[in-house]
Amino acid sequence: MRQKKGRIFPDRVWHGSSETNLLKQATDAARRVHLCFSRGAVTYTMKLTEALTTEHAIFRIMFDHMERVVPELKAISEIKLLARMAEKILCGHSEVEQNLAYTTLDHMLHEKGCLGRLSTEHQELYACFHQAQKAPDAAESRRLVLSAIVIAREHLNYEEQVIFPLIDQTLQKESLEELGAAWKQQQAVLVAET
């Protein structure tokens, strides 16, 4: 793949493409991934924490790419587009986490002081991505996107090092697998809605 200067995605012409077209192409890609998993001959029952950790790995790849590309982008519209897409993706992930993982252990997470931190970090993250979309110039938008990525990486690490082990220790394997199946159903709904 060649990296073409001024373009977000290598080897594709995106200039002049509407945001709706870019989002549609991303949605189509997500549908293809979902179909690969749902049509597979082998069925693997994934625990919720495994599913969420897998999503985190995908986010890290996205963040790596954004950290390489954002500093070079000159057009504020491209920076804002990346901020909007990242916010949308992470918001969907957070809703699933909240509905399946945090709600299940709400009382325990609150007692350990984790629930407030998780909520605060989610709000800070969304605020940075949202402000990046409203920034008056490319430099400020770029700074906010890169700040959001730092917050997101720290948040993902905290979940994987503290929250997910707590969930794995507290819930039985069957419960984790049922929540994993619920995660898969919610992913199917998210893909169908977009």
**CATH number, domain containing residue 112:** 1.20.120.520
pTM of the model: 0.74
Domain around 154: 46-193
* In-domain check, residue 175: yes
More confident residue, 17 or 123: 123
* In-domain check, residue 18: no
* In-domain check, residue 27: no
Instruction: At 20, give phi and psi (nearest 5°).
Output: -60, -40
Position 110 confidence tier, pLDDT thresholds 50, 70, 90: confident
* In-domain check, residue 24: no
- Measured between alpha carbons, how far is 121 from 93 in angstroms, rounded to an integer? 14
**Residue 94 vs residues 26, 50, 100, 123, 139: alpha-carbon distances, Å:** 19, 15, 10, 10, 28
Q: Give the model's pLDDT for residue 94.
A: 87
* In-domain check, residue 78: yes
* In-domain check, residue 177: yes
Element (H, E) at 145: helix 138-158
Q: Give the model's pLDDT for residue 62.
A: 92
* In-domain check, residue 165: yes
Mean pLDDT of the chain: 79
How many distinct structural domains can be found in the chain? 1
- Measured between alpha carbons, how far is 67 from 123 in angstroms, rounded to an integer? 21
* In-domain check, residue 172: yes
